[in-house]
Chains A and B, each alone.
Chain A
């Protein structure tokens, strides 16, 4: 069995296993698995509208995934994507509602604001890590809560007058496009997907092609060797968090300027930042891997909504089936080991 074939086979088997186990569970509990998976497919790719919604859904996933992956490549575990995402969302909307500018300035400004806000939010844990060796996982988790409540406060008391929701961002700052909506039958597809794809390219280029990327990767693999080689380890740690935060902030802009067009007071986390962790790990922390795993996650998320209605499968069971698919895909390592075993036996 060739290596290439094996690496192609692994994820297929993973998804298949998820479907098989999901099927067993559904049969046991008396639901029709064929209708259920048909509903999943229809709900994600069955109609141009749903395709648009899937793209809309995975756009922030890509950027959140990049935010995790980028830090991970430099040896940091960025659990704070959710917080960086929230402040990015807030900043984008704030700029979007507060100014009246020509589109050519306003939209880039709002996007930039989101990026800067996310970057600043990630700068703090980066600085604490570099300066005082405070573990970034702890700091970023706490920063998530700070982000949630601070942005709620700002929405309520500063941007609006005690309202739960900001106004829609100005036309000149929106990522939405009537054209994109019209070709996808009124899905919320917006131009953000272009930004997300550019983000993938930027991450790849920065890490793999630039001098700075060489340093970042060195620090990620071996801080001691990077130090030995004369690189400034602390500077690179901070920089990686800042860039990762920038990606997360952009993910927030996708929601603030695209999907929603406004910001709301939130009772809890959106989960996009945490899904980003799964997206990044599944994508092997490479930009292309993140891109494709985001598609898978986005399709599952959107398609799952259709399962209860079209197939009558209860929400709880849908959650279990989706979790199983993700579980098997994420544990593809086990499958690879298994395949190695088989191919060894073949040699004998």
Chain B
């Protein structure tokens, strides 16, 4: 066991030392532990390097938000400018626009998308023919696995003013075509409808699991008490899944600023930019396509910090609601 036990030319001396180690611990005990677990550290190493290089190096790189970073000069020689990038951003009218767009999309998401899986799960739970229930589940889970690019592509194919099938239908009914893809008024509804189409079915899983764990005896007791199905739904089923609903709601509040980045990026075009830009996509356009590294990093940092505050805030809220908290 003890790492000091080894044979060698001067084994006698070592044996003495090992005795000393055991008794008076000449050598700190952690060396022995590390040596015993050396293979575990070998296993740990690739992952640790990954986190240091791809997670922690960028965190340190966030410092360029306080610089006027020039790629060809490098990090060490770039000029430090303090909070100038942040001041510029807060003074820019784009700041209010981004905040507004992000906020409105998040509220739409909360109001329209968040309840959808709960309602569908409750309805699915009322289906008593298992084969039908499973058949519907199999169908509605499919879009979850399809990439956002395909979802956006299908939206384009359906809604284009040049022969898109849905736009043709609109034309048959109203006599004119609507440019859904370019009209800023249609951007937010499209985003929400896409996400509802893609994720509602999948979102039911967690609620269905919660529903499956509801005690059958409670239903039986309710039936004995003369409760009809609606009363059972209201008094037994809903209370049983309310804790899951609260947890997911709080989680969503913690990610309030995270609008679906890929989705919004894909659906953004030059005509709907005014309502489409959110923090993440703006960082991409300003940082990568225009090369304003420091300025865009400052925007990203602002968003990360607000995000952390929201996560901790929502976690605190979860604890107040008697949940065990997520972190």
Q: Do chains A and B interact in one complex?
A: no
Chain B residues within 8 Å of A, Cβ to Cβ: none
Chain A residues within 8 Å of B, Cβ to Cβ: none
